[in-house]
A and B are shown apart, each in its own frame.
Chain A
């Protein structure tokens, strides 16, 4: 398994989680090595910006597209999932890899939720544990932008924050993505990574 180091944050915890589920993992920022990998995990934190533009247009973007188009298992985590789509409102409007149709939008300000007989104002980022459907498992999320997938068949799991139903995890053939951080989601996260590892070739 190849863990892509595209400068989008610290990879140590993702690497550690992959080792925990029994995967032998190499970490690389070399597009040639990525392009020839059999299973690719593309994690990311932070934000869309100049850096992601360079990634999309550069050799790494090319390598990621090659892996995906070849049909090899691919998992994008957080920004890594968002980048599978056409673009994001973040950073004044940025492009993604454009593999799946849809865009990333910002959660609206001043959303509220009813809790018992009281109303609670929701904070941004969406930070903490949330439940996904249909499994009812909880995962750890940290994001201000969410994937609005154009094709609902691509949405494997969804979650709700305030008024917004968003893609918690996506799947299209060999392409997987999760908005949550499996490496920070304790047992549920490790189970997700193991399922990707085992199920990705079926």
Chain B
């Protein structure tokens, strides 16, 4: 089984944010163009996250999913702002293969079970955002708290216990984001990634903090992050690295990945 490389597009009011600079794209901030480009580069999967706060923005997001899905031939995960079962249904109907739920899973864990029964575990990703708690004397290991609302709100849930519970409830995957690392370009939080990957019997996607190809390698390598998949945004968006370069880098360092595909005729 190969480790997956997953570019993530943050979408706000219908546009990709964080700055996307592909060569040869007509409109660099257009999520449809960006998704097509990644699919053609041989991304193993794509993730679209809705970071809009408004209701109109949410409608726009469903429309974007509906436009992106027919253009790509790899799995598509979508998330952000999913509150109800109805949101899940609409996004799957719009062509998403998987939906990532976050705060809604925290406020109602039985939702995970209901969704997994209804749509199959493979369609239900639980996004878990975590933050390392301040160390206290005599701590043997670091402790992490689950946070919601972009890290602004604590939940009182201990991260490893929550991840185990999420897996027991039938989630198909965990998308684990370190809020301490997110946006830092400092690398994944390897400790919590590895602990979660070892504790649960479902795939774990590492997220938050990638600034270089070496960070991706660390996130996936045994004894380091041990994740099944690596999600990254800015290093691909800014055109720093292509998917093919990423895969070559990982292959040379012993991480099993699917080789990059040849160019597909337009």
Contact = CB atoms under 8 A, between A and B. Distances in A.
A181 B97 CA distance: 12
B10 interface: no
A142 B122 contact: yes
A190 B265 CA distance: 12
B150 interface: no
Given A46-B120, A184-B73, A138 B2 contact: yes
Interface stretch (A64-72, A125-133, A166-174): A125-133
B223 A118 contact: yes
Contact of A12 (B3, B95, B200): B95
Contacts of B222: 115-116, 118-120
Interface residues of B, number: 39
B2 A187 contact: no
Nearest to B259: A138
A116 B254 contact: yes
B194 to A, nearest CB: 12
A197 interface: no
Interface in A1-47: 9-10, 12-13, 16-17, 20, 45-47
A99 interface: no
Contact of B256 (A9, A115, A124): A115
A72 B163 CA distance: 48
B155 interface: no
A129 B256 CA distance: 10
A140 interface: yes
Contacts of B2: 128-131, 138
Given A109-B201, A120-B222, A161-B1, A127 B173 contact: yes
Contact of A186 (B42, B95, B119): B42
Interface in B97-131: 97, 119-122
Q: How large is the interface on A (under 10, 10 to 19, 20 to 34, 35 or more residues)?
A: 35 or more
Interface in B223-250: 223, 226, 228-229
Interface in B203-235: 203, 222-223, 226, 228-229
A82 interface: no
B143 interface: no
Contact of A122 (B1, B3, B69, B173): B1
B95 to A, nearest CB: 6
B74 A140 contact: yes
Main secondary structure of the interface of B (DSSP, over half): loop
Nearest to A189: B73
Contacts of A105: none
A104 to B, nearest CB: 15
B202 interface: yes
Nearest to A127: B203
A142 B125 CA distance: 14
Contact of B44 (A13, A128, A188): A128
Interface in A106-152: 109, 113, 115-116, 118-131, 138, 140, 142
B75 interface: yes
Nearest to B2: A129
B172 A127 contact: yes
Given A10-B93, A13-B69, A187-B264, A125 B122 contact: yes
28 contacts: A9-B120, A10-B92, A10-B93, A12-B69, A13-B70, A17-B73, A20-B73, A45-B120, A46-B119, A115-B254, A118-B222, A119-B222, A121-B198, A125-B121, A125-B122, A127-B203, A128-B1, A128-B2, A140-B44, A142-B122, A183-B73, A184-B73, A184-B97, A186-B42, A187-B262, A187-B264, A188-B261, A190-B73
Given A127-B173, A161-B1, 7 more contacts: A12-B69, A13-B73, A115-B254, A127-B122, A128-B228, A131-B258, A187-B261
